[in-house]
């Protein structure tokens, strides 16, 4: 019996654990036979610098990850700069680290499916028009604001009840409901993540699905 791959995740903040379902869906698509353990979130626990967080996660006395995902939101910087920051924070030697850099933020990857948003708020048959941005515009929008507005619209609540709705509580559910990667794979930042992950799997001679 094959041992499933052990995976970990370092994030900018605790709310970015919403990436775990998306990463799990990607791993499931690429590793139909090998198997994997869903990414384990590595809490900062007082480690303030990215270098300290990565060193802690790579210490075999703490974890033994076959793959370590390291997330940084691009925010107002170029994705390449965030990748460079992660690479500079790595200790010397080769490591199974994959950069996860949504442009501009994690929520950008949650704007690709109206049905996932409607499912997340428990209203899958909603006929509300969520007015999500085109895939080509997702990288430049205020994704968190757009997602929260879409979640609120998807509930089809009246004005009074909308005031009681807390969209931030549903963001991870959107990720869990995003099971079709077709649209995500058209976003350059997600394409880069998948390309880097496949490259690492090849380096480690891990059998994986071909795109």
pLDDT in tens, 2-40: 789 999 999 999 999 999 999 999 999 999 888 899 999
The sign of the torsion formed by the CA atoms of 168, 174, 176, 177 equals positive
| The two structure tokens encoding residue 34 | 């090998």
Q: Which residues pair with 63 in a beta bridge?
A: none
- Mean pLDDT for 81-90 is 96
Q: Which residues pair with 6 in a beta bridge?
A: 37
The pLDDT score that the predictor gives to residue 149 is: 95
**30-70, pLDDT tens digit by residue?**
998 888 999 999 998 888 899 999 999 999 999 999 999 99
Is 70 exceeded by the pLDDT of residue 163?
yes
Alpha helices, DSSP H, located in the chain = 19-30, 50-58, 79-89, 114-120, 143-155, 159-162, 171-177, 188-203
The pLDDT score that the predictor gives to residue 109 is: 96
Give residue 89's pLDDT band: very low, low, confident or very high (50, 70, 90).
Answer: very high
The answer to whether the pTM exceeds 0.85 is: yes
The pLDDT score that the predictor gives to residue 164 is: 80
CB 102 within 8 A of CB 109: yes
Pairing relationship of beta strands 36-41 and 97-100 according to DSSP bridges: unpaired
Instruction: For 101-154, give the DSSP string.
Output: --SS-GGGGG-S-HHHHHHHTT-TT------PPPGGGGGGS-HHHHHHHHHHHH
The pLDDT score that the predictor gives to residue 208 is: 86
- Quick one: DSSP state of residue 88? H
Is 60 exceeded by the pLDDT of residue 1?
no
CB 31 within 8 A of CB 66: no
The mean pLDDT of the chain is 93
**114-136, pLDDT tens digit by residue?**
999 999 999 999 999 998 999 99
The pLDDT score that the predictor gives to residue 211 is: 64
The pLDDT score that the predictor gives to residue 62 is: 95
Phi, psi (deg, nearest 5) at residue 154: -65, -25
Is 90 exceeded by the pLDDT of residue 210?
no
| Sheet strands side by side (includes 97-100) | 36-41, 5-10, 67-71, 97-100
- Mean pLDDT for 184-188 is 95
The pLDDT score that the predictor gives to residue 48 is: 86
């Amino acid at each position: 019996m094959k041992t499933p791959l052990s995976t970990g995740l370092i994030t900018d903040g605790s709310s970015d654990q919403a990436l775990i379902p998306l990463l799990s869906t990607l791993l499931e698509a690429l590793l139909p036979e090998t198997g994997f353990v869903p990414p384990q979130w590595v809490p900062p626990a007082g480690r303030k610098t990215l270098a300290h967080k990565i060193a802690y996660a790579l210490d075999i006395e703490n974890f033994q990850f076959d793959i370590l995902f390291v997330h940084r939101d691009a925010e107002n910087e170029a994705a390449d700069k965030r990748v460079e920051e992660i690479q500079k924070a790595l200790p010397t030697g080769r490591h199974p680290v994959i950069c996860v850099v949504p442009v501009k933020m994690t929520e950008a990857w949650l704007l690709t499916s109206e049905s996932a948003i409607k499912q997340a708020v428990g209203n899958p048959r909603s006929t509300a028009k969520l007015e999500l941005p085109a895939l080509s515009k997702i990288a430049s929008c205020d994704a968190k604001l757009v997602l929260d507005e879409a979640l609120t619209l998807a509930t089809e609540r009246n004005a009074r009840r909308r005031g009681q709705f807390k969209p931030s509580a549903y963001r991870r559910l959107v990720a869990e409901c995003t099971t079709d990667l077709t649209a995500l794979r058209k976003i350059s930042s997600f394409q880069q993540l998948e390309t880097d992950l496949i490259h690492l799997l090849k380096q480690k001679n891990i059998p994986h699905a071909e795109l």
